[in-house]
Amino acid sequence: MQIGLFIPCYIDQLYPHVGIATVQILEKHGYQVDYPQAQTCCGQPMFNSGATKECKSVAEHFLKTFRDYETVVCPSGSCTSMVRNHYAHVVGGNNDYETLKNRIFELCEFLVDHAKVSQLDVSFPHRVVVHQSCHGLRELETGKPSELMIERESKLHSLLALVDGIELVHPKRLDECCGFGGTFSVLEEALSCAMGNDRIIDYEETGAEYITGADVSCLMHLGGLLSRQKKSIKTLHIAEILAGTVQ
């Protein structure tokens, strides 16, 4: 099966290694990956600012770029949810959207639900804590949000459990927002950083060496705080661990 690879703009520009790791893990599990060069952004920054009209042309461009793929995979829960869920308010009724919304998957979702990965052959002998990004968790339902009284497995945890030598630890607050929130990170700078710092303290108290997650945006925010404070705990996108591109 050929997969259309959607690499969000900030991964393309700032975290290319996350994109590379995504390609590697998909290829390793027998998928052909194609990266359409015409892709740009899903339009989330505009949509979340209320600029629905400005978002529309971006969304239409996105649909045009990806409409011919049977499956689209993206290493970001937030961007995937933008396309799958929020495009309904931007380009709802558009035929390409109505098809694509059922064909676009966040990476972990794809690996668990479609690739049905049960073996990874990678090792990461470290203590790791998972940062559950809100949009993946609550909108894509990649795990059980702590508020809901339902049974649902965390796809991130299931995948990480397949990694040799990894020790998964759990924070006190299982899924509190890190405070990135797109433009929120700059419009409410003080709050955003306070939220991030509280996450960091919670994660540090687990004794973890690494914070991992399925959204680079959250990790960029947490990583930015960690770097400024010269803290030792590090951030890694889950694709890097699953692909074995980091040791």
Partner 1 sequence: MTEAAIQSNHPQQAEAFLKDLKRARWHDQALWFMREKRDKGVLGLKEWEALREHASRIKMHTLSHLPKYLEQFESEASKRGIQVHWAKDGDEHNRIIHHILSQHNVKRVVKSKSMLTEECHLNDYLIEKGMEVVDTDLGERIVQLANEPPSHIVIPAIHKNRQEIGELFHQKLNTPKGETDPTRLTGAARMHLREKFVQADAGITGVNFAIASTGGFVVCTNEGNADLGTSLPPLHIAAMGLEKLVPTPEDLSVFLRLLARSATGQPVTSYSSHFLGPRPDTEMHVVIVDNGRTGHYAQAEFRRSLSCIRCGACLNTCPVYRRSGGYSYGYTIPGPIGTTLAPHRSLEKFHTLPFASSLCGSCSNVCPVKINLHEQILLWRQKLYNAGIVSPAKRLALGGMSKMFTFPGVYTLGGNVFRGVMSLIPGNVIAKITGAWGKQRDLPPIPKESFRQQYKKMKGHE
Residue list 158-187, contact with partner 1 (CB under 8 A): 173, 175-177, 179-187
Min separation Cβ 192 and partner 1, Å = 7
Cα radius of gyration rounded to whole Å, the chain: 17
Interface mask toward partner 1 for 15-54; x: CB under 8 A? xxx-xx--x-----------x-xxxxx-x-xxxxxxxx-x
Task: For residue 104, give the nearest of 57, 139, 144 by alpha carbon.
Answer: 139
Q: Quote the CA–CA distance of 56 and 35 in Å, as a whole number.
A: 22
- Which of residues 3, 25, 55, 242 is near partner 1 by CB under 8 A? 55
Min separation Cβ 191 and partner 1, Å = 5
Q: Which is nearer to partner 1, 89 or 164 (CB)?
A: 89
Task: For residue 123, give the nearest of 164, 168, 156 by alpha carbon.
Answer: 164
> 216 near 18, Cβ under 8 Å?
yes
195 near partner 1 (CB under 8 A): yes
CA 176-17-239 angle, to 5 degrees, is 50
Task: For residue 164, give the nearest of 135, 208, 121, 127 by alpha carbon.
Answer: 121
Interface mask toward partner 1 for 126-145; x: CB under 8 A? --------xx--xx-----x
Residues 6+ apart with CB under 8 A from 93: none
Site for partner 1 in 66-125 (CB under 8 A): none
Longest alpha-carbon distance in the chain:
49
Q: Which is nearer to partner 1, 169 or 174 (CB)?
A: 174
Min separation Cβ 159 and partner 1, Å = 22
Token look-up 């003080």 returns 190
Q: Would you give the DSSP letter of residue 213?
A: E
Min separation Cβ 236 and partner 1, Å = 12
Q: Which is nearer to partner 1, 38 or 118 (CB)?
A: 38
- Which of residues 118, 149, 165, 232 is near partner 1 by CB under 8 A? 149
Q: Which is nearer to partner 1, 15 or 203 (CB)?
A: 15
